[in-house]
Amino acid sequence: MNFQQLRTILELPRHSFNLSQMASAMGMTQPGISRHVRDMEDAMGFAIFERSGKRITGLSDSGRAIMPIVERLLIEAGKLQGAGVEYTALASGVLGISTTHTQARYALPQAMLGFRGAFPDVRVALQQNTPEDIARSVIAGKADIGIATEGLAAYPELAAFPCYRWSHLVLVPDGHPLLELGPLTLRALVQFPLLTYDHGFTGRRHIDQAFATTGLSPDVVLTAMDSDVIKDYVRLGLGVGVLASVAFDAEHDAGLRALDAGHLFAASTTWLAVRRGAYLRSYTYEFIRHFAPQLTRQAIDLELHRDTTLASDATAPANIHRIVQPPTIHRGAPTMSTTIDTLWYTRCPAPTPFGIAIQQGWLAQEFAADGLQMRALQDADDPAIRRSHFTHSQPHSFRQGGNIPALWARSSGAATRVIGLTWVDEFQGLLALRGSGIASVEQLRGKRFGLPKNLVSGVVDFHRATALRGFSTLLDVAGLTLDDVKLVDLPYAPLGLADARPVDEQGFARLLRTHGQQEFSREVHALISGEVDVVFAKGATGLAAANLAQADVIVDISQQGNRLLHANNGAPRPLTVDQALLDARPDLVARVLARTIAAGRWAEAHPTETTAYIARETKSPELWVRHAYGPRLHHNLHIDLAPGSVAALDNFKQFLHGSGYLPTDFDIEQWIDPQPLRQALQLLETRRDNISAELAA
């Protein structure tokens, strides 16, 4: 066998086993491909591919098993070749960069100037492609670096790094009516024909998402890949342009005016990617340094050489053909040598289908025959394991609960993926003591708002972040902002919060514990003692605290018309899993998710039992559960990845990052992996009768 044969069998699945397509893309002939396949199979002594007549239709089981080995061999060969060139021609060569027109035209020039000064003998081959083709080019070794806003982080074959955040702007000709209006709104935009990017380019999904969330239908009369084309048609008066902020230069774009649209459309992230496991020349690191100075060589190498040889199709987007076929979901024996004896889980005291599946014993039942235990992080003796409730650092673990710890863990570098979201609208309100003289939201201007401050937690102060978001969202109902009130710190020092065993030491909490409620003890104490005028509370425990303190609800979340702003720590609640488990055992992840979906369906058919469960979980009377979560609570405990929930989570993430609660920014959609949900739904369909009978029992 030889390397050309290895490359041929590696590339064939990536081209959908289409010899004509592969021949065209690789500069080969169909007979040549067939000969390489035949010679390789003769050398191995077995059929690598399945056939229908003479047509290759897929990988055989044996072929599927050897593909990771073939990929490693070719990667190592590439490293060896790269090292040879590196030590014989240190400062010369060709750097291939595949990127979009917008990045090439507006983002790369400064980096290119600095790079050329350092490596004048290196020739740069700049390819302009679609995001999908950029990924394919880097994976196939046709480019060393890929740069794009969309998609690169979704490919397991690529090591992808966030480089910078950018927003959209609205471009109009001089004298346009939009220039005479106040702050720009989506409703004002839809009055004019729009010109913007093609689908899949330069943050287009964020534009579509913003209009879809508000129920508006823009008249998009022209789309293009090229920002300069959009600007030309704006000059001609064809419509209003929505394009990347980096594409506008007031000095060079005479006759055009830019309006800030950062508040209308979610920010986008530009990513840089290299092929995982590749040998990078010194000048490749140098170019990356000029383009994204925050990316150190150490950080690049750490991700570049992270072992992903066990990765499955669970993380691959549907529009690219991975080397390995999608895995079959099994019950019983593991499908690979990875030994797992415990699946860890953690959940918050909140209404979630995952919590129902745990409390009812359905997840333990699911894995009993496999010899797998389901263990709660909070029950571990090791504080480092318990702390994973916040850091999600424990291998083989799942989490569903408040989204702030999940967002913070991902922002801090935890390798996790979102596999589902649950949205249960819950009570969120601003409380003031009865008789305080505060009767409406308009009277909140200038009042003292109590903001809890955790003095001992080594993780994100999610209680404080939740209250700050609540203040901001509910003040918006009356057109007020945080600048219109006085924020007063309410310091407190709960024991055990950093290792997920919260015990509040506030003296007033002992009184609240007699009523089964302690979450908002510091705020209620501050209200009663006169430290502050207004506090935020949410959920069943928040209503119970308001009742205990005899406080009035001045404004609640139902009065906020923008659903995006309903997102807080409790909505939506993500179900996350560690990336390593998803890579190694997607079958286990699909089974956990299938049981969680089934628990949500059980809740829909059992409203009384569901309310009782939530009352036990939140340690609240059923009366407050019904008031806090509404009469449709049992209908809302489902798992999905609805676009509206994703958009709201992204909106909340931007709030947290902008308020300093997340150390780094990241792309929400790249954090989400939809494949496990698809696999779980397929699994439920095949096992529908069995699972239904088990749940009924």
**Greater model confidence, 449 or 279:** 449
Beta strands 268-275 and 220-224, pairing class: unpaired
Cα dihedral across residues 170, 176, 180, 185: positive or negative: negative
| pLDDT computed for residue 90 by the predictor | 55
**Cβ atoms of residues 432 and 438 within 8 Å:** yes
Contact 13, 313 (CB under 8 A): no
What's the one-letter identity of residue 278?
A: A
**pLDDT given at position 510:** 42
- At residue 209, the pLDDT reads 80
Q: What is the pLDDT of residues 661-684, one digit of tens each?
A: 998 999 998 999 998 998 899 888
Q: Give the integer Cα–Cα distance in Å for 449 and 484.
A: 11
Q: What is the pLDDT of residue 335?
A: 34
Return the closest-CA partner of residue 256 out of 333, 176, 172: 172
> What is the number of other CB atoms lying within 10 angstroms of the CB of residue 51?
12
**What's the full length of the chain, in residues?**
697
Q: How far is it, in rounded angstroms, from Cα 173 to Cα 254? A: 9
pLDDT tens-digit profile of 526-577?
999 999 999 999 999 899 888 888 899 999 998 888 878 899 999 999 999 9
| Residue 366 pLDDT greater than 60, yes or no | yes
Distance from C-alpha of 262 to C-alpha of 96, rounded to nearest angstrom: 33
Q: Look at 626 and 503; give whichever has higher pLDDT.
A: 626
Percent of the residues in the chain that have a pLDDT greater than 70, as a whole number: 87
For the chain, what is the mean pLDDT? 83
**Which of 322, 361, 338, 171 has its CA nearest to residue 259?**
171
- DSSP calls for 400-414: ES-HHHHHHHHHTT-
Question: Residue 170, class by beta-carbon neighbours within 10 Å (0-12 exposed, 13-18 middle, 19+ buried)?
Answer: buried
329 falls in which pLDDT band (50, 70, 90)?
Answer: very low
Confidence (pLDDT) at 404: 95
> 415 and 578 in contact (C-beta within 8 Å)?
yes
Interval 632-642 mean pLDDT: 91
- Per residue in 136-191, pLDDT tens? 889 888 899 999 987 787 787 888 888 888 889 999 999 999 998 877 899 999 99
Residue 517 token pair: 């409620």
Q: With pLDDT > 90 as the criterion, what percentage of the chain qualifies?
A: 39
pLDDT tens for 251-270 read 889 899 999 888 888 878 88
Band (315; pLDDT cuts 50, 70, 90):
very low
pTM, 2 dp: 0.54
Nearest to residue 68, comparing CAs of 276, 273, 274, 300? Answer: 276
Report d(CA 362, CA 366) in Å as an integer. Answer: 6
Q: At 186, which helix (H) or strand (E)?
A: helix 186-189
CA 260 remoteness from chain centre: 26
Q: How sure is the predictor about 516, in pLDDT bands with cuts at 50, 70 and 90? A: very low
Q: What is the rounded CA–CA span in Å between residue 695 and residue 697? A: 5
Phi-psi category of 202—alpha, beta or left, where left has phi over 0 and alpha has psi -120 to 50?
left
DSSP state of 105: I
d(CA 572, CA 420): 10
Q: 530's torsion region: left (phi>0), alpha (psi -120 to 50) or beta?
A: left
Query: Average pLDDT for residues 630-642, to the nearest whole number?
Result: 91
CA dist., res. 430 & res. 106, Å (int): 46
List, for residues 452-474, the tens digit of each pLDDT value. 998 776 678 899 999 999 999 99
How far is residue 94's CA from residue 508's CA, in Å, rounded to a whole number?
A: 69
Q: Which domains does the chain have, with CATH numbers?
A: 3-162+270-315 (3.40.190.10), 168-266 (3.40.190.10), 345-425+570-696 (3.40.190.10), 428-566 (3.40.190.270)
